[in-house]
Amino acid sequence: MDRVAIIGASMTQFGQRDAWIRELLAEAGQAALADADVSPDEIEHLYVSNMASGEFEGQTGVPNALAHDLAAMPAYTARIDQTSSSGGAGVYAAWQSVASGASDMTMLVGGEKMTHRSTAEATDVIASLTHPVEYKHGVTLPSFAGLTARLYLDTYDAPRESLGKVAVKNHKNGVDNPHAQFRKEVDLDTVLDSPVVADPLRLYDFCPITDGSAALVFCPESVAREYTDDYAVISGIGGATDTHVVHERADPTTMGGVVNSSDIAYEMADLEPDDVEVAELHDMFTILEFLQSEDLGFFEKGEGWKAVDEGVTDRDGDLPINTSGGLKSKGHPLGASGVAQVYEIYKQLIGDAGERQVDADVGLACNVGGFGNCVTTTIMESR
Amino acid sequence: MDRVAIIGASMTQFGQRDAWIRELLAEAGQAALADADVSPDEIEHLYVSNMASGEFEGQTGVPNALAHDLAAMPAYTARIDQTSSSGGAGVYAAWQSVASGASDMTMLVGGEKMTHRSTAEATDVIASLTHPVEYKHGVTLPSFAGLTARLYLDTYDAPRESLGKVAVKNHKNGVDNPHAQFRKEVDLDTVLDSPVVADPLRLYDFCPITDGSAALVFCPESVAREYTDDYAVISGIGGATDTHVVHERADPTTMGGVVNSSDIAYEMADLEPDDVEVAELHDMFTILEFLQSEDLGFFEKGEGWKAVDEGVTDRDGDLPINTSGGLKSKGHPLGASGVAQVYEIYKQLIGDAGERQVDADVGLACNVGGFGNCVTTTIMESR
């Protein structure tokens, strides 16, 4: 089968933006069209990854608005929402649109506009994805993260400092990402001395609230060759859910959605975890980078913290993780995050990652919705 | 290529329901599993068509909740939103998931819970899909419908009574649909004497605000044969946008999204409009049934009203339209409507439509988002 290729990509400045969701989506969409050297009337399917434009700013129907703003009519459009993994779900939708033969040129634009709402309001919109019983007890995703971090540290005898080192590493990477929300290093003491949010996690263990957008252009590999030599292919992709109620999980330090979605992706790509040379993981909270790096098979269960401790996941380590700066320093505009992960892997694979460039022909992006409630894993290879 | 088949379907009672979106989705999902004789752990992809659970009841993440409620973990899930055509977009997503090879067993559940909000509140949520400039001028979809109806009647010299006859026909059909919100006939005088909503349209020219859900089970035709003799196939499917700003359309009595999406579907199915033997059209307003019946190629432009006038689209006519009762009498729970259209065509094609049964081997469903801003057209055939 003709593989699905990515021939162009863009992301906007992430951070606090003086622009509404429509403007953010159009900005990334126009830039990706230019990057791919594709004109709007070539786009057959146009997907928007977005969780909550209606809740955040009272604007629905954004895919149609984007088709208008990009002059992409009569391209088919739809919005894909899978909460914090809407971006990964959008990548899967775009992949399916091309792999099914429905579209020979698909654009995905993911975005979210959040910073005009208070952190409490934004956190509440996000928490509305939890099980109603959890929600009524006041559970939010940060509180889940605190509980899980405590359990992980206790179970695997990991030092608190190891969590902080995830933040230090990803902030360091973010310095070289011109689109990142935070481009400043933080030292371990700063992380460890920051205000407690959900014990043992502190402010610098959390990603920020962010506005931003990112876009990708997909087509069959046979079509990609007509456009460019600089493309990458999606060789494996899969998605899976875990229990919607977090306390129903036999072991909350294992994310079943990561295990199952990556199993599907590895099998499709005919690759093993050891084959992956660069990865973007969903470090909404520092603890999540440990869990995913283990559940993806990169490290044994309970050993992910050692890899960070020993520098294995540094940019110059054996398996660089979150060269983009991750959600931690790059920012986490919900619908954009999974798209921006694939943007980073794409840039790494075509050798266009600038100061962040590593040597890799196989990359992986893992996008987590809820607290692992739904996960999409995408494996990409250079052509 | 292995065609995509539908092997099971369900819909809940449409109307004012004392149940939240999660309960409505689970009710239809469980019924469709039973109808298809498929167990939850066989489901690989689970899509939810829903426009606004967050806006209507502060609940997001409903696909994950549904995976939980159906015990369908670790099935992959996502929400598909294309405003009023979310159901059709969900059908397209489900079709792509099977046609791409990503899933051999996909369930789609579409639903919306609306009646706990006032008609004004619900209309405002829907109107938030319009262009911001239109929205700020107070434009709602009913007001577009009134303007378009006036233009149609003037342009094609159609009598006001012809619009009313759409309502009369669809209410008559709805009497035999046990799931319909309204199961009562209305006479032409009742329609014509009902309160003005958007001149020349009156109360009975509009579909109601509705709660409800509908579900479908999809798989490759080769798999379908292992489950049942009673399946139907999707032989053509396509989607397209029209201008997001309605006044930018050269001729507002033509819905470009209907023309373009059906062109794609007819070509895929290798069929002509004349081959269609039963159709479900998006009669959110009576005028829309005229426009679609023309833009789908069933009748010449400006002649759709005559077909209704002459009984061509009656249940015993040459081309029965909206045997289900249509949105007009069946109800319009946004995310469910496009799914329920395909439910009706499926039931007709497998000969399980009860009192509504017509003789048909080729059926078509046309689901319209916004005021024709995005449209999905699905063509189905009996096996």
Residue spans per domain, chain A: 4-117+210-232, 129-209+235-382
d(CA B175, CA B364): 22
- Asked if residue A133 has pLDDT above 90, the reply is no
Q: How far is A294 from chain B (nearest CA, A)?
A: 19
For residue A244, give the nearest of B68, B78, B102 by CB distance: B68
Q: Alpha-carbon dihedral of residues B49, A72, A68, A50, nearest 10 degrees?
A: 40
Residues B291-306 pLDDT 10s: 999 999 999 999 999 9
Q: Are B4 and A96 in contact (CB under 8 A)?
A: no
Which two tokens mark A232?
């990458």
Residues of A in contact with B96 (CB under 8 A): 93, 96-97, 99-100, 102
- Asked if residue A46 has pLDDT above 80, the reply is yes
pLDDT reported for residue B80: 98
pLDDT reported for residue A147: 95
Q: How far is B25 from chain A (nearest CA, A)?
A: 15
Q: Alpha-carbon dihedral of residues B127, B132, B136, B138, nearest 10 degrees?
A: -30
A78 and B83: CB-CB below 8 Å?
no
Backbone dihedral region for residue A222 (phi beyond 0: left; psi -120 to 50: alpha; all else: beta): alpha
Residue B11 half-sphere exposure toward CB, CA atoms < 13 A: 32
Q: Which CATH number fits domain A129-209+235-382: 1.20.1250.20, 3.40.47.10, 3.60.21.10, 3.20.20.140?
A: 3.40.47.10
Residues of A in contact with B83 (CB under 8 A): 60-61, 64
Give per-residue burial for A199-222: e unless 16+ CB within 10 Å, then b.
ebbbebbbbbbbbbbbbbbbbbbe
Residues of A in contact with B376 (CB under 8 A): 76
Our CA angle for B331, B39, B49, nearest 5°, is: 30
pLDDT reported for residue B175: 98
d(CA B87, CA B101): 21
B78 and A81: CB-CB below 8 Å?
yes
pLDDT reported for residue A239: 98
- Residue A247: band (very low, low, confident or very high) from pLDDT cuts 50, 70, 90: confident
Residue B4 has φ and ψ, to the nearest 5°, of -90, 125
Which two tokens mark B372?
């024709």
Low-confidence residues in chain B, pLDDT < 70: 1
One fold for A4-117+210-232 and A129-209+235-382: yes
Query: What is the topology classification, in CATH, of domain B134-209+236-382?
Result: Peroxisomal Thiolase; Chain A, domain 1 (3.40.47)
Instruction: Give the chain A residue nearest B95 (alpha carbons).
Output: A100
Instruction: Give the chain B residue nearest A99 (alpha carbons).
Output: B100
For residue A240, give the nearest of B52, B76, B241 by CB distance: B76
A374 and B63: CB-CB below 8 Å?
yes
- Asked if residue A135 has pLDDT above 90, the reply is no
Instruction: Give the chain A residue nearest B71 (alpha carbons).
Output: A243
Residue (of B72, B80, B63, B61) closest to B30 by Cα position: B72
d(CA B193, CA B191): 6
Query: CB neighbours of B69 closer than 8 A, spacing ≥ 6?
Result: B22, B25, B26, B29
Q: Are B9 and B346 in contact (CB under 8 A)?
A: yes
Across all residues in chain A, what is the average pLDDT? 96
Q: Are B48 and B81 in contact (CB under 8 A)?
A: no
Side chain identity at A195, as an amino acid letter? Answer: P
- Tell me the count of A-B CB pairs closer than 8 A: 196
For residue B239, give the nearest of A76, A89, A100 by CB distance: A76
pLDDT reported for residue A350: 98
Residue A235 has φ and ψ, to the nearest 5°, of -100, -15
A65 and B131: CB-CB below 8 Å?
yes
Q: Is the ipTM of this complex over 0.90?
A: yes
Side chain identity at B238, as an amino acid letter? Answer: G
B68 and A240: CB-CB below 8 Å?
no
Residues A146-203 pLDDT 10s: 999 999 999 999 999 999 999 999 999 999 999 999 999 999 999 999 999 999 999 9
Q: How far is B12 from chain A (nearest CA, A)?
A: 23
A4-117+210-232 carries CATH number 3.40.630.10? no
d(CA B315, CA A129): 43
Residue (of B121, B116, B110) closest to B32 by Cα position: B110
Residues B158-211 pLDDT 10s: 999 999 999 999 999 999 999 999 999 999 999 999 999 999 999 999 999 999
Residues of A in contact with B257 (CB under 8 A): 74
Instruction: Give the chain B residue nearest A267 (alpha carbons).
Output: B102
B374 and A64: CB-CB below 8 Å?
yes
The mean-pLDDT minimum among A129-133, A371-375, B23-27 falls in A129-133
Which of the residues B84, B96, B107 would you substitute to probe the A interface, choosing the one with the greatest number of A C-beta atoms within 10 Å? Answer: B96
What is the separation of C-alpha B44 from the centre of its chain, rounded to a whole number of angstroms? 25
Beta strands of A119-205 (E only): which ranges?
196-198, 201-202
For residue B78, give the nearest of A58, A89, A245 by CB distance: A89
A76 and B256: CB-CB below 8 Å?
no
A64 and B239: CB-CB below 8 Å?
no
Instruction: Give the chain B residue nearest A256 (alpha carbons).
Output: B74
Residues of B in contact with A45 (CB under 8 A): 239
Which of the residues B244, B258, B259, B375 would you substitute to probe the A interface, choosing the one with the greatest number of A C-beta atoms within 10 Å? Answer: B244
For residue B52, give the nearest of A60, A83, A373 by CB distance: A60
Report the percent of chain A where pLDDT is more than 90: 94
* DSSP bridge partners of B265: none
